[in-house]
């Protein structure tokens, strides 16, 4: 190897060392890599760019192949959320199709869900209004079809079953989306219901004033209406605060 080729190789390896270090390769690994490449080049007697290509491209390839495998997303395992009764089953099935399995429903009405990070499966859900003393008949009807209970809230009981029973291997997801950033889902029906309740309260207050039931005390009517409105908002506010607290690291 002539002196010029030695200088060329030295400059090439100096540049490569800088690029590898910038890409995050450890100093020990950089040294071992350069030593291995230099040994090969000494045997071949060729030009480094002819043998290995541009230093930038070689560095990119070396760091890509030596990079550790990506860890699964931190939010891939658990998620808690809630929805109003107008569309909770719809939302359960939407997220069940993304691999979320309901483990239970807590006292606040939150669906406590988990997803297998390695082999996520699709799930489907159903909701039943279970009257006192009628739970056994509901179970006798649903269990033979593969449904199993996964939580209760007020008078409702939720059931789940894996879609693998009907879809087979196609029920396993290869690239499920990450967990949503939100945890409360309210439907247009819920807002319409709340608006209807407030209208009824307003009409009732106006009627009471008109017929003198409240002696024309407008402040009393406003107090009753505001109290009813706050009463309607408190449950969802509590759920929102609880959900935000559960999502803190």
Are residues 89 and 102 both part of a single domain?
Answer: yes
* Structural contact between residues 188 and 114, judged by C-beta atoms closer than 8 angstroms: no
Residue 199 located in a structural domain: yes
What is the pLDDT of the chain when averaged over all its residues?
A: 78
Q: Strand 123-129 relative to strand 156-162: parallel, antiparallel, unpaired?
A: antiparallel
Residue 71 located in a structural domain: no
Q: How many residues does the chain have?
A: 249
Tokens of residue 154, six digits: 């007020």
Are residues 175 and 216 both part of a single domain?
Answer: no
Are residues 126 and 166 both part of a single domain?
Answer: yes
Are residues 80 and 56 both part of a single domain?
Answer: no
Read off the pLDDT band of 128 (50, 70, 90).
very high
Are residues 86 and 59 both part of a single domain?
Answer: no
Are residues 46 and 101 both part of a single domain?
Answer: no
Are residues 174 and 91 both part of a single domain?
Answer: yes
Tokens of residue 233, six digits: 């908002």
Handedness of CA 43, 48, 49, 52 (dihedral sign): positive
**Number of domains the chain is built from:** 3
Tens digits of residue pLDDT in 48-80? 888 778 888 888 877 764 444 434 444 458 999
Read off the pLDDT band of 240 (50, 70, 90).
very low
* Structural contact between residues 197 and 225, judged by C-beta atoms closer than 8 angstroms: no
Are residues 166 and 210 both part of a single domain?
Answer: no
Are residues 86 and 173 both part of a single domain?
Answer: yes
Q: Which residue has better confidence, 31 or 44?
A: 31
Are residues 103 and 177 both part of a single domain?
Answer: yes
Residue span of the structural domain in which 32 resides: 3-66
Are residues 47 and 117 both part of a single domain?
Answer: no
Judged by average pLDDT, the poorest of 110-114, 182-186, 214-218 is 214-218
Report the predicted TM-score, pTM, of the whole model to 2 decimal places: 0.55
CA dist list (Å): 116 to 68, 81, 119 = 22, 18, 6
What is the per-residue pLDDT for 98? 93
Enumerate long-range contacts of 58-66, CB under 8 Å, 24 or more apart. 58/16, 59/16, 59/19, 59/20, 59/23, 60/23, 62/20, 62/25, 62/33, 63/20, 63/23, 63/24, 63/25, 66/25, 66/29
C-alpha–C-alpha distance, residues 96 and 90, integer Å: 10
Q: Once rounded to an integer, what is the mean pLDDT over residues 8-25?
A: 85
Read off the pLDDT band of 22 (50, 70, 90).
confident
DSSP 119: S
Residue 134 located in a structural domain: yes
Which of 36, 66, 96 lies at the terminal end of a domain, its last residue? 66
Residue 58 located in a structural domain: yes
CA dist list (Å): 242 to 76, 215, 229, 232, 247 = 20, 41, 21, 17, 9
Are residues 170 and 205 both part of a single domain?
Answer: no
Tokens of residue 76, six digits: 């891939």
């Amino acid at each position: 190897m002539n002196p010029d080729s030695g200088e060329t190789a030295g400059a090439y390896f100096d540049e490569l060392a800088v690029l590898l270090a910038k890409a995050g390769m450890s100093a020990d690994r950089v040294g071992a890599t350069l030593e291995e490449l230099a040994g090969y080049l000494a045997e071949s007697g060729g030009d480094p760019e002819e043998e290995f290509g541009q230093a930038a491209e070689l560095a990119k390839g070396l760091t890509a192949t030596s990079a550790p495998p990506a860890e699964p997303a931190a939010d891939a395992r658990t998620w808690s959320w809630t929805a109003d009764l107008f569309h909770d089953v719809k939302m359960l099935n939407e997220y069940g199709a993304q691999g979320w399995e309901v483990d239970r429903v807590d006292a606040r009405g939150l669906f406590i869900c988990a997803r297998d990070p390695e082999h996520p499966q699709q799930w489907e859900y159903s909701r039943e209004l279970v009257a006192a003393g009628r739970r056994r008949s509901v179970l006798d009807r649903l269990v033979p079809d593969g449904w199993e209970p996964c939580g209760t809230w007020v008078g409702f009981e939720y059931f789940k079953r894996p879609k693998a029973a009907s879809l087979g291997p196609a029920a396993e997801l290869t690239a499920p989306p990450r967990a949503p950033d939100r945890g409360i889902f309210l439907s247009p029906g819920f807002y319409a219901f709340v608006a209807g309740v407030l209208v009824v309260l307003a009409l009732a207050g106006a009627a009471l004033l008109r017929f003198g039931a409240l002696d024309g005390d407008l402040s009393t009517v406003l107090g009753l209406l505001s109290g009813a409105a706050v009463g309607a908002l408190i449950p969802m506010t509590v759920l929102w605060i609880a959900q935000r607290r559960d999502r803190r690291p």
